[in-house]
């Protein structure tokens, strides 16, 4: 009878344990990261009584959690990928929205500016039209500046986020290391798995993988080692490393990432992938930096072509035009660890050859070498002296100071151009709408030859506006005043002198003459305004293949495509991440119906065993009555 | 497959969130009436939309330019209408003045007075300004009065020969004016080949007609002088220094003198030493033509010598008036051609505008019927998800544990 009682008591205890587990499962049905636990029933060792092995009840030998490491790994990498693309898409959408308003966007502002130039061409004497053009120019500059400052503020937000991410990752690493310690000692003391601690650790690793892609390996004492980047250890046993936001060696305001441990500090910016951090970093290099450089490059090109043409014109006061826009110069930054004093003066020499890249100049034993920000090599000519500057991608570089081997300089050709950009013309009369010269036949010419109105080739030629006469010495030869050479006349051919160019067509008679003279009374002339208005559709960018207006289209299209792609990827990754999460939940999640059934099952078993005790008791009583009366 | 309770809820919630965000996007599209509002919505369409909007804005500017060009050319055309009226009155007066037999010096002077007034009127037309005070006929120098002088002094052109072009389409420009030189000054003399004249110091009564071209290829452009070496003999010399004799002949009144492909007729009685000119045609300002007639009519006449000079010169002047009228008609025709060009560019631009508008609408604007249908579908989906979720999540074995 004692065995019956003992067996029953073992059952009672086992099912009590099972009910505990069920109740724990039900209680944690909504706890994130909780893995359902399962009591592991085993039969007790049988006893050899009376020539037979007699069972002696049941035990809960272990409480296991339902957990699949493979599914967990899948879910983590999916979460990592989803968070990367989602962060990228969220940030990209901000740029996309920035350029989203097609009625006030860059393209519209540019066209309004062109229209205002056309209005000046319509009425070159109208101060109102000129004033409008200056306002539109200012609006265009403001528009460019507002894009630039929005992109700058996005940049500083990215920098701030990188710092926050670094702190979060460090604190997660500390938590994981602490749990590693507790888990190892839990195992060591009991030989049993501390399930809830394991869940907590897994949850921290899950969270870590939403910030950055991680690799996890298990040690013999059930601790988990966590690696990020190219295998830089973040947690080794109970030792956490710190992830810190460091300053870029060229630009202290730009944040990079490094792992700080007892071994030292290792920069991991280039090897970070996945998670919100990976998303931020790839957004910065793939979209933000190029966008800033593009806006800068377009502003440089706008200023360059406008200034060149405006200088070739004549304003309402009869003076030659000046520069119309000013833009900021090229930023040059020395590496923080440079040991020499080398600096560089960089000027833009060819707008068409400029690229969206930044450049790193490095002093090697064999002299200066250059590579673009994306790592590709660029071809550089020259020796870097003032007489023979380095020439690379439309830049002219003059090195100053002395450099030691290993010193390097960063060159940012366009990103600093926009914020100091200005309209230099304030007085509407100073808009150079007219051409400085006018060419015309002399009254009394007998031939029917005509002369083109003339264009300016070199506005700085001192003789440009000095009156010159082209006299036909015969029907086929001519002379230009001040030049004894007799030229042969070819109808329609360019005649260049004093910095101007004209064309004569038709049949001149001997003695006919044409004058090219100063146009200072020609305030109604609009030739230069028409040329200015045409500049936006002139191919001036990308080595003379792309106009400013199509560059704007390309840029906005590029932003749209990248954003759209990121959004599509994020949506797809979301599905993948949810599926992986679902697969894990299918294994580890609590099903309340299942638990209710278990509850019933265990409760019934418990009640049945209670009956057994009563049976044992009544058996015992009947024996007592039979023997003792 | 096992379903965890939390997993079921999360899945259902995520599905509803997806439906809701799709609904929010549709709602935004319906509220704005636009299918594409940021580059990311449809990058290719967005770039296209931007380009179309740019083209629309450009087209609006071209429309303004062409209206302006039309206004200015209409002003110019009005000036030509007025010029033609003055010209016909001037021509009448010159014809009247040619009646040497009946007119006295006083009659001629009164004709001269009216001619001078007409000359002033013509100068005023040539110096006309537009509404902004800019001169119509001064080329680029629109702030410079193009024709200076007058009131007895020679009227000369001080503008330039520029012609302002306005952009009326992305490929076409049209000049919005003619300069005063090409309108009022660059009028060919005589018959456009040569011009005849009588020397004012002639003492005989010889008269020269306006002549004609008989053999164009034989004409050698030069200034020729017909000099009477005696009342019955003449020689023709060219303009070289020293002059070469081109031809000599015996004079018969009314007989054609033909040389170098042209023919002129001298009538009357020239005196020895009298000269007549056959000059290659240059250009002559209409003001100079009329001014010369005024001067001529103010000179006393009456004897046969003076009458001969008067008749010869007035013949030339009449021919010159006809040349000028033809010339004005030619310029006016050019204005007409320009206006027609503008009209045709305008109508093709209007057609393009409609096309731009409809393409833009196709790309950007929302198809409401489709959007609303889609929204209803989405709504049904969301409602079904909500209803099924609340039903299924109510199902629990615990409900039956009593």
Kindly report, residue by residue over A60-72, the tens digit of the pLDDT. Answer: 999 999 999 999 9
Tell me if B298 sits within 8 A of B112, measured CB to CB. yes
Inter-chain residue contact A563 with B181, CB threshold 8 Å? no
pLDDT of B300 higher than 90: no
Closest chain A residue to the Cα of B48, Cα to Cα: A553
pLDDT of A154 higher than 80: yes
ipTM over 0.90: no
Looking at residue B132, the DSSP 8-state letter turns out to be T
| B401 interface with A at CB cutoff 8 Å | yes
Mean pLDDT estimate for chain A: 91
| B2 interface with A at CB cutoff 8 Å | yes
Q: Domains of chain B: which residue ranges?
A: 34-188+283-365, 194-280
pLDDT (average), residues A349-370:
90
B65/chain A closest Cα distance in angstroms: 6
pLDDT of A100 higher than 80: no
pLDDT of A316 higher than 70: yes
Inter-chain residue contact A524 with B143, CB threshold 8 Å? yes
CB-neighbour burial class of residue B58 (10 A; exposed 0-12, middle 13-18, buried 19+): buried
Query: pTM value?
Result: 0.86
B56/chain A closest Cα distance in angstroms: 10
DSSP string, A113-177: HHHHHHHHHH-TT-HHHHHHHHHHHHHHHHHHHHHHHHHHHHHHHHHHHHHHHHHHHHHHHHHHH
Distance (Å, whole) CA B14 – CA A574: 10
Closest chain B residue to the Cα of A28, Cα to Cα: B6
| A91 interface with B at CB cutoff 8 Å | no
Planar angle of CA B216, B222, B226, nearest 5 degrees: 95
Indicate the CATH number for domain B34-188+283-365.
1.20.1330.10
| B173 interface with A at CB cutoff 8 Å | yes
pLDDT of B3 higher than 60: yes
Categorize the per-residue pLDDT at A104 as very low, low, confident or very high, splitting at 50, 70 and 90: confident
| B71 interface with A at CB cutoff 8 Å | no
pLDDT of A416 higher than 60: yes
- Return the pLDDT at A629: 55
Inter-chain residue contact B140 with A525, CB threshold 8 Å? yes
Tell me if B302 sits within 8 A of B105, measured CB to CB. yes
| B132 interface with A at CB cutoff 8 Å | yes
Distance (Å, whole) CA A248 – CA A335: 9
Q: A474: closest CA among A504, A502, A447?
A: A447
Distance (Å, whole) CA A187 – CA A220: 11
pLDDT of B301 higher than 80: no
Q: For residue range A461-486, what is the model confidence (pLDDT) as tens digits? A: 999 999 999 999 988 999 998 889 99
pLDDT (average), residues A373-381:
86
| B361 interface with A at CB cutoff 8 Å | no
Residues 6+ apart with CB under 8 A from B316: B190, B195, B196, B197, B210
| B369 interface with A at CB cutoff 8 Å | no
Query: Which residues of B, range 5-64, sit inside 8 Å of A by Cβ?
Result: 5-7, 10-11, 14, 37-44, 46-47, 49-51, 53-54, 57-58, 60-62, 64
Inter-chain residue contact B164 with A124, CB threshold 8 Å? yes
Residue of A92, A103, A519 lying closest to B140 (CB–CB)? A519
DSSP bridge pairs for B278: B196, B224
pLDDT (average), residues A269-297:
93
Distance (Å, whole) CA A563 – CA A569: 10
CB count within 10 Å of CB B132 equals 11
| A90 interface with B at CB cutoff 8 Å | no
B335, B340, B344, B345 alpha-carbon torsion, rounded to 10°: 10
Q: A480: closest CA among A489, A467, A471, A488?
A: A471
Give all strands of the β-sheet with A477-480 in edge-to-edge order: A437-441, A513-518, A468-474, A477-480, A483-488
Tell me if B348 sits within 8 A of B243, measured CB to CB. no
Contacts 24+ apart (CB under 8 A), A256-263: A256/A162, A257/A162, A257/A166, A257/A281, A259/A228, A259/A229, A259/A232, A259/A233, A259/A234, A261/A233
pLDDT of A594 higher than 60: yes
DSSP string, A343-381: EEEEEE--GGG--S--EEEEEETTEEEEEETTS-B---B
- Return the pLDDT at A292: 94
Task: Report the Cα–Cα distance between both ends of chain A, in Å, rounded.
Answer: 19
| B222 interface with A at CB cutoff 8 Å | no
Planar angle of CA A313, A318, A324, nearest 5 degrees: 40
A165: left (phi over 0), alpha (psi -120 to 50) or beta: alpha
Interface test with chain A among B39, B59, B396, by most A beta carbons within 10 Å: B39
Mean pLDDT estimate for chain B: 90
Query: Which residues of A, range 497-526, sit inside 8 Å of B by Cβ?
Result: 509, 519, 521-526
Radius of gyration in angstroms for the set of CA atoms belonging to chain B, rounded to a whole number? 41
- Return the pLDDT at A166: 95
pLDDT of A112 higher than 70: yes
Distance (Å, whole) CA B285 – CA A439: 21
- Return the pLDDT at A1: 52
CB count within 10 Å of CB A2 equals 8
Q: For residue range A210-263, what is the model confidence (pLDDT) as tens digits? A: 999 999 999 988 999 999 988 899 999 999 999 999 999 999 999 999 999 888
Chain B residues with beta carbon closer than 8 angstroms to that of A509: 221
pLDDT (average), residues B70-86:
94
pLDDT (average), residues B287-291:
93
Chain A residues with beta carbon closer than 8 angstroms to that of B240: none
Tell me if B139 sits within 8 A of B163, measured CB to CB. yes
- Return the pLDDT at A102: 67
Q: Write the CA distances from A12 to A18, A26, A613, A616, B299, integer angstroms.
A: 10, 21, 10, 14, 151
pLDDT of A285 higher than 70: yes
pLDDT of A5 higher than 90: no
- Return the pLDDT at B395: 85
pLDDT (average), residues B363-383:
92
CA B151 to chain centre: 30
A113/chain B closest Cα distance in angstroms: 10
| A544 interface with B at CB cutoff 8 Å | no
DSSP string, A527-586: HHHHHHHHGGGSEEETTTTEEHHHHHHHHHHHHHHHHHHHHHHHHHHHHHHHHHHHHHHH
Categorize the per-residue pLDDT at A375 as very low, low, confident or very high, splitting at 50, 70 and 90: confident
Q: For residue range B235-280, what is the model confidence (pLDDT) as tens digits? A: 999 988 888 999 999 999 889 999 999 999 999 899 999 999 999 8
- The fraction of chain B above a pLDDT of 90, given in percent, is 57
- The fraction of chain A above a pLDDT of 90, given in percent, is 72
pLDDT of A2 higher than 70: no
């Amino acid at each position: 009878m004692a065995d019956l009682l003992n067996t029953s008591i073992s059952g009672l205890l086992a099912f009590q344990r099972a009910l505990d587990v069920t109740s724990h499962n039900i209680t944690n049905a909504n706890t994130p990261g909780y893995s359902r636990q399962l009591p592991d029933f085993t039969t007790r060792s049988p006893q050899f009584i009376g020539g037979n092995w007699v069972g002696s009840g049941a035990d809960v030998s272990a409480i296991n959690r339902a957990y699949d490491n493979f599914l967990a790994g899948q879910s983590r990498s999916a979460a990592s990928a989803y968070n990367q693309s989602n962060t990228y898409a969220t940030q990209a959408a901000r740029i996309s929205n920035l350029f989203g308003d097609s009625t006030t966007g860059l393209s519209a502002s540019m066209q309004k500016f062109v229209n205002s130039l056309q209005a000046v061409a319509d009425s070159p004497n109208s101060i109102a039209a000129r004033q409008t053009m200056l306002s539109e120019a200012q609006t265009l500059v403001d528009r460019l500046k507002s894009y630039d400052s929005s992109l700058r503020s996005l940049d500083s937000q990215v920098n701030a986020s990188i710092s926050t991410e670094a702190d979060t990752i460090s604190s997660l690493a500390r938590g994981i290391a602490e749990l590693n310690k507790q888990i190892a000692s839990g195992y060591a003391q009991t030989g049993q798995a501390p399930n809830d601690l394991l869940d907590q650790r897994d949850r921290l690793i899950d969270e870590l993988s939403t910030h950055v892609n991680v690799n996890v390996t298990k040690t013999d004492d059930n601790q988990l080692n966590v690696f990020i980047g190219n295998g830089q250890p973040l947690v080794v046993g109970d030792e956490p490393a710190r992830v810190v936001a460091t300053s870029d060696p060229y630009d202290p305001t730009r944040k990079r990432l490094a792992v700080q441990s007892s071994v030292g500090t290792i920069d991991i910016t280039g090897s970070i992938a996945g998670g919100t951090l990976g998303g931020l970093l790839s957004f910065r290099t793939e979209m933000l930096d190029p966008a800033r450089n593009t806006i800068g490059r377009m502003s440089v090109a706008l200023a360059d072509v406008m200034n060149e043409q405006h200088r070739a014109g004549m304003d309402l006061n009869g003076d030659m035009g000046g520069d119309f826009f000013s833009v900021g110069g090229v930023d040059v930054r020395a590496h923080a660890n440079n040991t020499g004093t080398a600096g560089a003066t960089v000027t833009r020499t060819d707008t068409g050859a400029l690229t969206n890249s930044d450049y790193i100049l490095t002093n090697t034993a064999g002299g200066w070498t250059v590579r673009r920000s994306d790592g590709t090599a660029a071809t550089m000519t020259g020796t870097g002296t003032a007489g023979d500057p380095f020439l690379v991608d439309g830049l002219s570089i003059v090195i100053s100071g002395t450099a030691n081997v290993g010193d390097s300089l960063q060159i940012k050709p366009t990103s600093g151009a926009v914020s100091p950009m200005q309209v230099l013309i304030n007085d509407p009369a100073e808009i150079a709408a007219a051409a400085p010269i006018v060419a015309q036949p002399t009254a009394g010419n007998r031939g029917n030859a005509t002369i083109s109105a003339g264009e300016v080739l070199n506005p700085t030629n001192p003789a440009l506006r000095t009156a010159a006469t082209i006299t036909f010495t015969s029907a086929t030869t001519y002379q230009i005043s001040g030049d004894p050479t007799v030229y042969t006349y070819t109808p329609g051919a360019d005649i260049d002198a004093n910095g101007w160019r004209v064309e004569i067509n038709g049949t001149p008679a001997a003695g006919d003459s044409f004058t090219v003279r100063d146009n200072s009374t020609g305030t109604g002339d609009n030739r230069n305004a028409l040329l200015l208005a045409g500049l936006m559709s002139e191919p001036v960018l990308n080595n003379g293949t792309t106009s400013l207006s199509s560059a704007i289209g390309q840029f906005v299209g590029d932003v749209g495509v990248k954003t759209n792609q990121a959004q599509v990827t994020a949506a797809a990754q979301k599905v993948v991440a949810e599926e992986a999460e679902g697969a894990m939940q299918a294994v580890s999640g609590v099903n309340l119906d299942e638990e209710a059934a278990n509850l019933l099952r265990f409760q019934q078993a418990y009640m049945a065993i209670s009956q057994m005790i009563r049976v044992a008791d009544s058996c015992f009583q009947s024996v007592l009555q039979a023997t003792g009366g | 497959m096992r379903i965890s309770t939390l997993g079921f809820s999360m899945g259902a919630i995520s599905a509803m969130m997806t439906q809701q965000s799709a609904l929010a996007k549709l709602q935004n599209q319906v509220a704005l009436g636009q299918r594409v509002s940021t580059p990311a919505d449809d990058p290719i369409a967005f770039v296209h939309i931007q380009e179309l909007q740019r083209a629309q804005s450009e087209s609006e500017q071209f429309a303004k330019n062409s209206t302006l060009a039309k206004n200015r050319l209409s002003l110019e055309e009005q000036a030509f209408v007025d010029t033609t009226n003055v010209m016909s009155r001037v021509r009448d007066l010159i014809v009247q003045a040619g009646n040497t037999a009946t007119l006295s010096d006083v009659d001629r002077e009164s004709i001269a007075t009216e001619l001078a007034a007409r000359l002033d009127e013509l100068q005023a037309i040539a110096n006309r300004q537009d509404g902004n005070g800019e001169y119509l006929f001064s080329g680029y120098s629109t702030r410079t009065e193009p024709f200076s002088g007058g009131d007895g002094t020679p009227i000369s052109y001080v503008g330039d020969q520029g012609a302002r072009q306005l952009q009326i389409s992305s490929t076409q420009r049209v000049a919005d004016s003619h300069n005063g030189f090409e309108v009022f000054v660059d009028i060919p003399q005589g018959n456009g080949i040569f011009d005849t004249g009588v020397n004012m110091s002639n003492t005989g009564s010889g008269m020269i007609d306006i002549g004609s071209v008989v053999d164009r290829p034989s004409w050698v452009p030069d200034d020729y002088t017909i000099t009477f070496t005696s009342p019955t003999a003449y020689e023709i010399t060219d303009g070289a220094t020293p002059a070469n004799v081109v031809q000599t002949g015996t004079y018969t009144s009314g007989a054609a003198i033909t040389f170098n492909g042209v023919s002129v007729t001298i009538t009357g009685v020239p005196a020895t030493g009298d000269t007549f000119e056959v000059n290659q045609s240059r250009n002559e300002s209409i003001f100079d033509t009329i001014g010369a007639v005024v001067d001529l009519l103010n000179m006393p006449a009456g004897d046969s010598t003076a009458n001969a000079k008067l008749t010869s010169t007035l013949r030339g002047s009449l021919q010159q008036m006809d040349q000028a009228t033809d010339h004005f008609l030619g310029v006016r025709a050019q204005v007409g051609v320009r206006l027609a060009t503008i009209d045709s560019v305008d109508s093709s631009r209007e057609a393009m505008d409609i096309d731009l508008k409809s393409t833009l609408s196709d790309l950007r604007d929302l198809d409401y019927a489709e959007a609303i249908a889609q929204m209803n579908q989405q709504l049904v989906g969301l409602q079904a998800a909500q209803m099924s979720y609340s039903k299924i999540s109510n199902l629990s074995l615990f409900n039956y544990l009593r």
